[in-house]
DNA sequence: TCAAAAGTGTTGGGGCTACACCCATGG
DNA sequence: CCATGGGTGTAGCCCCAACACTTTTGA
């Protein structure tokens, strides 16, 4: 057998957070060609002696100053053809759900990193370079699906949170309002999800809210919510691919 | 920036079918080192000027003589480190669900291809080379998840099938028995799933069964089953990651 | 007439949606 | 006292598991 063809491999990170009740994605402004000056997902080439998930963590820190606070989940691979003007390059995409107090805007290799509203990045004329709009769309769909049956949404909330904070997180990711009373009952009654700390917190007017934390011994990424928190039916369900499940996939 | 490091890229195909009420996977016996003589998933190196899914279809045909009868769904990527003694190699895995009458045992580059029971390939001392046991496990989990909310299980059944044939397919993939009466009602009442042909077929003793086909205009891979056909709860749920959906789906 | 497989009816439980209602606080 | 948000109760709907029962065939 002849020596096999080789390809450069990149990683791209879809890092999501919730700011002001809206889903935001971490993007960098490219300092080099191609697509110099355009927005792009953080990422870069895989080096020798590292796995793709290690490259994703390294590039995220290098380009944005953010150390992955949680779990990097692989989305899928893209390419190698037709996605980079420099030639065939395979890219492996990763998803990260970060708390909203992550150090945004930390600088690095790229000309600044910032949280950008997802809605503005997914328009038909997306400002994102390469095929990053498609990658982002897959990442958002994965996040929407994953929080249905895993406690992963608590990753956005910090160590302690109120039920309302958790609910507004779900609303921001799913993009649809939820009934506060039914959500409260569902969140507090579901096993292996959250537990009360016993503390309460006052936030402006109204009755103080009880504080909760992730239930002990629960992996945020495990599929433990049974029955799941199902998102409301969308009016116009976009064609879906399930990279995972769950729930949740295809290409 | 210096010229980036490059890697060989392979594809591996998890092709599943149902034979004698048991899930089987298409494997080849390796004719070359490393792992000469061991069983492995069909696959090979990605060439210039092809996408990974095209490489998967090409390798499947070359090694097993089987042209992908349906949809090749990307599972995820693996590596590049620690999975091949020849050095760092990234592999992109694909999933294919094939009807049981696919031409098994067709020869090719490798020393023969055959359908092998999945159970025997997933033991702790798996006969599979490389990390193919882990890839197969991910593929089986994706298949189990995907048939919950897509009509994909009909891919195993051929163009026309009885409700009992469809149910035994679900039972083989999920590995657990289902109530025939409840399954019948669920399958026939769910919209955008199957439709009666009007014909019946006699199979040994008992009342003849009505024949059904996939509902017209339905993409087998779309997430159209609402509510989904949920699989029975497993006694010992293995740790899951959803490559796609259904749930699930991730990696 | 009986066994076997296909297919239908029914019943009880649980989760969910929708909403009425009560609780605890600030102004 | 009232506005504001936190939290509980409940009624009706739908789905589902379980299983009794009917239908249609071969032997």
For chain B, the domains span: 9-146+236-241, 150-214
Counting Cβ atoms within 10 Å, is residue A208 exposed (0-12), middle (13-18) or buried (19+)?
Answer: exposed
CATH 1.10.10.10 fits A150-214, yes or no: yes
pLDDT of residue A165: 94
In angstroms, the CA B28 to CA A8 distance is: 29
End-to-end CA distance of chain B: 31
From first to last of its 251 residues, what are the pLDDT tens digits of chain B? 567 899 999 999 999 999 988 999 999 998 888 999 899 999 999 998 999 999 999 999 988 888 877 779 999 999 899 999 999 999 999 999 988 656 655 444 445 788 999 999 999 998 999 999 999 999 999 999 999 999 999 988 889 999 999 999 999 999 999 999 999 999 999 988 999 999 999 887 889 999 999 999 888 888 888 889 999 876 543 333 333 333 333 33
In angstroms, the CA A34 to CA A29 distance is: 12
Backbone phi, psi, residue A56, to 5°: -65, -45
The CATH code of domain A9-146+236-241 reads: 3.90.79.10
Task: Please state which of the ranges A156-165, A212-221, B27-36, B93-102 shows the lowest mean pLDDT.
Answer: B93-102
Cβ contact B223:B229 at 8 Å: no
Please compute the mean of the pLDDT values over residues A215-240 and round it to a whole number. Answer: 76
CB-CB under 8 Å, A245 with B222? no
CB of A184 lies under 7 Å from some atom of strand D: yes
Give the gap in angstroms from C-alpha B202 to the nearest C-alpha of chain A. Answer: 37
Which chain B residues are within 8 Å of A249, Cβ to Cβ?
73, 142, 145-146, 242-246, 248-250
In angstroms, the CA B187 to CA B208 distance is: 18
Cβ contact A19:A115 at 8 Å: yes
Cβ contact B150:B139 at 8 Å: no
* Nearest CB partner across the interface for A243, out of B53, B80, B243: B243
0.85 exceeded by the pTM? Answer: yes
In angstroms, the CA B213 to CA B167 distance is: 14
Mean pLDDT across chain A, nearest whole number?
Answer: 86
Q: Tell me which DSSP letter residue A110 carries.
A: S
CB-CB under 8 Å, A80 with B52? yes
Strands B90-97, B6-19: pairing is: parallel
Give the gap in angstroms from C-alpha B126 to the nearest C-alpha of chain A. Answer: 24
CB of A208 lies under 7 Å from some atom of strand D: yes
Give the gap in angstroms from C-alpha B250 to the nearest C-alpha of chain A. Answer: 3
Q: Integer distance in angstroms from CA A22 to C1' C21?
A: 32
* Nearest CB partner across the interface for B77, out of A50, A74, A223: A74
DSSP, residue by residue, A45-95: E--TT--HHHHHHHHHHHHHS----S--EEEEEE-SSSS-TTS--EEEEEE
Nucleotides of C under 7 A from a protein CB: 3-9, 15-21, 23-27
Q: Integer distance in angstroms from CA B227 to C1' D16?
A: 11
Comparing C-alpha atoms, which of A249, A51, A244 is closest to residue A152? Answer: A244
SS3 labels along chain B: CCCCCEEEEEEEEEEEEEECCEEEEEEEECCCCCCCCCEECCEEECCCCCCHHHHHHHHHHHHHCCCCCCCCEEEEEECCCCCCCCCCCEEEEEEEECCCCCCCCCCCCCCCEEEEEHHHHCCCCCCECCCHHHHHHHHHHHHHHHHHHCHHHHHHCCCCEEHHHHHHHHHHHHCCCCCHHHHHHHHHHCCCCEEEEEEEECCCCCCCEEEEEECCCCCCCCCCCCCCCCCCCCCCCCCCCCCECCECCCC
Q: Tell me which DSSP letter residue A199 carries.
A: E
In angstroms, the CA B240 to CA B141 distance is: 8
């Amino acid at each position: 057998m002849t020596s096999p063809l080789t390809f450069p491999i990149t990683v791209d990170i879809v890092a999501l957070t919730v700011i002001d009740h809206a889903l935001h994605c971490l993007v960098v402004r490219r300092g080099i060609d191609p697509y110099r000056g355009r927005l792009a997902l953080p990422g870069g080439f895989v080096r020798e002696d590292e796995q793709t998930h290690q490259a994703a963590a390294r590039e995220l820190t290098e380009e944005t100053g953010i150390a992955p606070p949680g779990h990097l989940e692989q989305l899928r691979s893209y390419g190698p053809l037709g996605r980079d003007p420099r030639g065939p390059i395979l890219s492996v995409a990763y998803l990260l759900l970060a708390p909203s107090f992550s150090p945004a805007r930390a600088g690095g290799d790229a000309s600044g990193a910032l949280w950008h509203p997802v809605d503005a990045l997914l328009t038909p004329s997306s400002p994102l370079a390469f095929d990053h709009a498609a990658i982002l769309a897959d990442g958002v769909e994965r996040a929407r699906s994953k929080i249905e049956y895993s406690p992963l949404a608590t990753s956005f909330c910090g160590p302690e949170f109120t039920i309302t904070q958790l609910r507004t997180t779900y609303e921001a990711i799913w993009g649809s309002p939820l009934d506060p009373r039914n959500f409260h009952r569902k969140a507090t009654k579901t096993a292996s999800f959250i537990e009360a700390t016993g503390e309460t917190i006052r936030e402006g007017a109204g009755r103080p809210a009880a504080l909760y934390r992730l239930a002990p011994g629960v992996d945020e990424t495990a599929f433990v919510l049974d029955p799941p928190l199902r998102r409301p039916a969308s009016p116009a369900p976009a064609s879906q691919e399930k990279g995972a499940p769950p729930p949740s996939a295809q290409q």
